[in-house]
Amino acid sequence: MKQYQIDRIKDLMDARGMSLKELASKCGMSEMTVRRILSAKHNPTTDTVEKIAEALGVHEQYIYEAEGESKAKQPINGYIEYGGTISSIRTFKQLEKIYESIKFDMSVPRLVKELRAKDNENKKSQTLTNIDITKIDLRRPEVYDTTKVKTWSFLHTDDVRDGISINIGNFSTDHELDICGEHFYHSESAYIVGLFSENNEESIKIQREVQYEKSPMDAKYTVKAKYTKQGKSRKDWDEFKDQWMLYVVWHKCLTNAEFADLLRQIPNDVIIIENTTNQTNGRKEDDSSFYWGAKNKELEDGHDLIEREVELANPMMSAKELKKLKSIERNKLNNVGIWEGINCLGKCLNICKYCLDNGITPPIDYDLLRSKHIYLMGRLLTFSE
């Protein structure tokens, strides 16, 4: 057997992820015989080559064809249309990849059905959770098991749970707020000004720039990022950022009735979570997404699966309607997987909700905030309001 023929068999084995042992089993031969063939120590009969070709899913002629022949280089030469996309097929590996994609899509309805059943079972097994704000530690890592506790996670502005909107994140532009006479378009900018809250003209300039930025994304990833990189941020920020966030969220409750009403509508036994599963900033200990929210890969994989089912079932639907339907179906799946993270923002929201419901004020560490001498647009905050 010629070397190029041996190499062709080995290439086909690699493309299929087939071991020498598996090939021998499919051919009905001993592993030793196949090893000798592939090491050019044994010249196989025509019948043996035919068995090898059949096991590899090709015609025996593909193995025999001389080097340089077009068929040897391109055992497949055609096109396949799937999912509205036409792909050129030149190799078996390409064909197998598309085949695996089709096979997965065929399993999607079954997998989604199993997911929804699991969601329902987990919901039944959850016990009543009493939210005790005196035991909430804004800096402690948490594990929330959806088979045991009721969790409502928010990520998108159109997230809904049991018919209730949970558009409560800092990146929402639907709920403006006021802090000490200063107006902010969203709570993300109100939080960020704390990072540049020193007593100098440059801090005032940066705070104004943040305040006037209507896009939360730009406030964080453009303005904040620029000045942090320049070393303009407070060096002691990590020491009080959680208390400043709680202060900001509480002022959002006090100065925006619609936002406060959204929190009141959330059931008392729900643990509120900011879903930061798909965000990452490097190592876990340096990951701000792990600090402010929590991650649940199983749930997000489930959401992806549901969105794929919607796409497959509605190939002719417009992009706008498809997005809306994906949101509706995705929001039906909530009680799957385990959440891990500090979830600081979620805790702030839970604390503020409890305080709204009970007519009390949050246990904000005002002594710590006062000790940090925080300035807002040049004015020292006394936190006496």
Q: Would you state the pLDDT for residue 283? A: 47
Q: Any idea where the domains of the chain sit in the sequence?
A: 3-75, 127-296+337-380
Classify domain 127-296+337-380 at the CATH superfamily level: YbiA-like (1.10.357.40)
Give the C-alpha separation, 109 to 59, whole Å.
35
d(CA 192, CA 172): 15
DSSP state of 41: S
Residue for token pair 């593909």: 62
A 10 A CB-CB count for 347 gives 27
Burial of 22 (0-12, 13-18, 19+ CB in 10 A): middle
Phi-psi sector, 170: left (phi>0), alpha (psi -120 to 50), beta: alpha
Question: Along the 385 residues of the chain, how does pLDDT read in single tens digits?
Answer: 788 888 888 888 888 888 999 999 989 899 889 998 999 888 888 889 888 988 888 777 778 776 554 444 445 567 787 777 777 777 777 788 888 888 999 999 999 999 999 999 999 999 988 899 999 999 999 999 999 999 999 999 999 999 999 999 999 999 999 999 999 999 999 999 999 999 999 999 999 999 999 999 999 999 999 999 999 999 999 999 999 999 999 999 999 999 999 999 999 999 999 999 998 754 455 578 899 999 999 999 999 999 999 999 998 999 999 999 999 999 999 999 999 999 999 999 999 999 999 999 999 999 999 999 999 999 999 998 6
Residues 6+ apart with CB under 8 A from 236: 372
Instruction: Specify the 3-state DSSP secondary structure of 380.
Output: strand
Q: Which residues of 150-163 are buried (b: 16+ CB within 10 A; e: fewer)?
A: bbbbbbeeebbbee
CATH class (in words) of the domain with range 3-75? mainly alpha
Q: How far apart are CA 35 and CA 10, in angstroms?
A: 11
C-alpha separations of 258 from 44, 172, 174, 213 in Å: 80, 13, 9, 22
Nearest to 154 by CA among 146, 141, 138, 165: 165
What pTM does this model have? 0.77
pLDDT at 286: 52
What DSSP string runs through 292-361? HSBB-HHHHHHHHHHHHHHHHH-TTS-HHHHHHHHHHHHTT--S-SEEEE--HHHHHHHHHHHHHHHT--
Cβ proximity of 350 and 228 under 8 Å = no
What backbone phi and psi angles, to 5 degrees, belong to 316? -100, 0
Q: How far apart are CA 36 and CA 3, in angstroms?
A: 13
User: What pLDDT is attached to residue 70?
Assistant: 42
Nearest CA-CA partner of 344 in 295, 292, 277: 292
Residue partners of 34: CB distance under 8 A and separation at least 6 = 20, 23, 24, 27, 52
Q: Please answer whether residues 346 and 293 qualify as being in contact, where contact means their C-beta atoms are separated by less than 8 angstroms.
A: yes
CA gap 363, 247 in Å, rounded:
10
Find all residues with CB under 8 Å of 294, minimum gap 6, and list them: 142, 144, 153, 273, 274, 275, 276, 339, 340, 341, 342, 343, 346
Q: Pairing state of beta strands 164-165 and 375-376? A: unpaired
Length of the chain as a residue count: 385
Question: Are the C-beta atoms of 352 and 153 separated by less than 8 Å?
Answer: no
